[in-house]
A and B are shown apart, each in its own frame.
Chain A
Amino acid sequence: MLKFLLACVMLMPLVNSWWAVQSSLFVLSFIMIIYCHHDFGNYMMGWCFNLDSLGYILILLSFWITSLVVCSSQKVLKDNNYPSLFLVVNIFLLFFLVMTFSVNDYLLFYISFESSLIPTLILILGWGYQPERLQAGVYMLFYTLFASLPLLVSLISLYNMSGSLTLGLVESVKGVGFIPCVWYVVTVFAFIVKLPMFLVHLWLPKAHVEAPVAGSMILAGVLLKLGGYGLIRVLPLFSEVNKSLSWLWVSISLVGGVVVSLMCLRQVDMKALIAYSSVAHMGLVLSGLVVFGWWGLNGAVVVMIGHGLCSSGLFCLANMVYERVGSRSLLISKGLINFMPSMALWWFLLSAGNMAAPPTLNLLGEISLIISVVSWSKVTMLSIALLSFFSAAYTLYMFSLSQHGKYYSSLFSCCSGKVREYLILMLHWLPLNVLILKSSTIMCIL
């Protein structure tokens, strides 16, 4: 595993050449694809790193999304907006993400989990477009820090109890008294804010909207999955308390998902719509995760991968419109099918992925999650029905409002889609639709 981390570090001397870093990132993704042997549960062990099926697919997603991020942020290179520094920040972020998904130790996981916030903050503050990015950075930083400092306390208490923080060697917390309950909430809260769940989701629309395209893609593509990954690692330690308290998370996330889906229908900013739809998707993921059955865990991982590809692609599309029209508002960037009909193809394909149309990974994951949550309680059928319905509703709203209709009369002309842009979108869409044929690579994480 150290070979991949060393490879990330060795990308630093190449930052003076944008294209060298970009090609190297794709080559690294290819090498990651090859290292998919899973004879045993854990492999590539060494130092404090190991790799299992869950970490593998998330690290591959990190490499893939980072390559696409570098490919799509060409405006930074063209405007000479500190491109080398931009690449350095992205490589740091990739380094910390790969570390997070591969470490063997809960404390090291916590340290890399927190460290990944800093390059994200620098991306938002350094390359974002509007003054509101200051508040967005503050929201993201302080929401995550406020929730995860208690996680540090909880990890130290776990160390006190078990004598080790190595994954798999920590004793579970027994009983359902007051202390185990508080311990559970404190541990899980950090990942719930990261996912995010409905009541603690306010940082997400701000951060996603104010971030540059690179920040939005990495945030939606990988950073939200840190929360899911952390939950999968931490919930086995609290299996008894989880059974008593999971109703809280399922209720809030499902009802909140419906509320947020309704809010999506009222959005005018394209990126805010995609950001709120991320909250709705992650709400379903959270409910499947805390139910903690086989179907729920596998469905959660599949939706995390599918959503990572789909949301990242949608943010990429929104940025392509923003670069041409200068506005993210759906009232201004409408009727785009008249300007860029080929881009409308990609709008359609990625929107179809967002509403879990077949044959995307999102469909497979949502079906598994629905099975898992409904088997936990039949009452959830109501919120799941509303969630699925409104997910299709707001996605169609976004697609139709941005593509169909008469184009805004102030738009004079804009550059048609470049091959680079079509390539990026195709690289988002193809894995999303073809991986369903090899979903054993993504499911069966246990």
Chain B
Amino acid sequence: MASLVRLGGRVIRLNPSAFRPCAVRAAGISTSKKNKDTVNLSDALVGQVKTQQQTEAVAEKNWISWGFSYESETKDNTVMHLTFFCSVTLCLVFGGFIWAYLPDYRMVDWAQREGYLELRRREAEGLPLIDANLVSIDKIQLPEDEELGDTEIII
């Protein structure tokens, strides 16, 4: 669960433009020049203006891509984790677990049980195990020839 939250955070941080403020104000706070003092005119504003310099001074060391992104190592790593989670963890592991433990899917086990029970009943009563007639012949009443007349017989 914690790793899922971490992964979600990394995915969101992949696209930081959604979270950057639209406008940056550089506001300086300073005191007025001390005219009474003769010497030190401090340009004290130097350290107080916020700049947008992003220092990426660290040289990038060579990295081997997982295959998901060749430009950014973090994006490559994040997308790798995301893809593996969705495909392997969700589909193969959870999906496989659900399929493996489905209760009597499509009533296959029930049908086989019923088949065996029917076989036992037929063996006990001495009936043929597979009968050419689905229903026993003495229960069928066919109409007489005169009743049929010209009716087409389709077999």
Contacts and interface: CB of A to CB of B under 8 A. Distances in A.
Q: Do A and B come from one complex?
A: yes
A53 B102 CA distance: 15
Contacts of A78: 70
B47 to A, nearest CB: 39
B67 A421 contact: yes
Nearest to A240: B154
Contact of A38 (B82, B88, B106): B106
A27 interface: yes
A419 B95 contact: no
Interface residues of A, number: 31
A246 interface: no
Given A38-B105, A38-B106, A420-B68, A19 B79 contact: yes
A440 B108 contact: yes
A284 B124 CA distance: 43
- Name the residue in A34, A420, A427 with the highest tally of chain B Cβ atoms < 10 Å from its Cβ: A420
Contacts of A248: none
- Name the residue in B66, B67, B80, B96 with the highest tally of chain A Cβ atoms < 10 Å from its Cβ: B67
B84 interface: yes
Interface in B8-32: 15
B65 interface: yes
B49 interface: no
Contacts of B67: 74, 418-421
A444 B106 contact: yes
A17 B102 CA distance: 36
B87 interface: yes
A36 B99 contact: yes
A430 interface: yes
A438 interface: yes
Given A29-B91, A419-B67, A23 B102 contact: no
B86 interface: yes
Contacts of A23: 82-83, 86
Contacts of B98: 33-34, 36
A17 B79 CA distance: 11
B108 A444 contact: yes
A64 B88 CA distance: 12
A339 to B, nearest CB: 17
Interface residues of B, number: 27
B92 interface: yes
Nearest to B96: A434
A440 B79 contact: no
A441 interface: yes
B91 A36 contact: no
A24 to B, nearest CB: 8
B94 interface: yes
A437 B90 CA distance: 19
A441 B98 CA distance: 12
A331 interface: no
A34 B106 contact: no
Contacts of A30: 86, 90-91, 94-95
B86 A27 contact: yes
A444 B86 CA distance: 29
Contacts of A27: 86, 90
A259 B49 CA distance: 79
Contacts of B92: 427, 430
Contacts of B95: 29-30, 33-34
Contacts of A277: none
A117 B70 CA distance: 34
Given A34-B98, A441-B105, A444-B106, A423 B91 contact: no
A22 interface: yes
A430 B98 CA distance: 16
Contacts of A64: 91
19 contacts: A22-B83, A23-B82, A27-B90, A30-B91, A33-B95, A36-B102, A38-B106, A418-B66, A418-B67, A420-B66, A420-B68, A421-B67, A423-B83, A423-B88, A427-B88, A430-B92, A438-B100, A444-B106, A444-B108
Interface of A: 17, 19, 22-23, 26-27, 29-30, 33-34, 36, 38, 53, 64, 67, 71, 74, 78, 418-421, 423, 427, 430, 434, 437-438, 440-441, 444
Given A38-B106, A418-B65, 16 more contacts: A17-B15, A19-B68, A19-B79, A23-B83, A26-B90, A27-B90, A30-B94, A33-B95, A36-B102, A36-B105, A64-B91, A71-B83, A418-B66, A437-B100, A440-B105, A440-B106
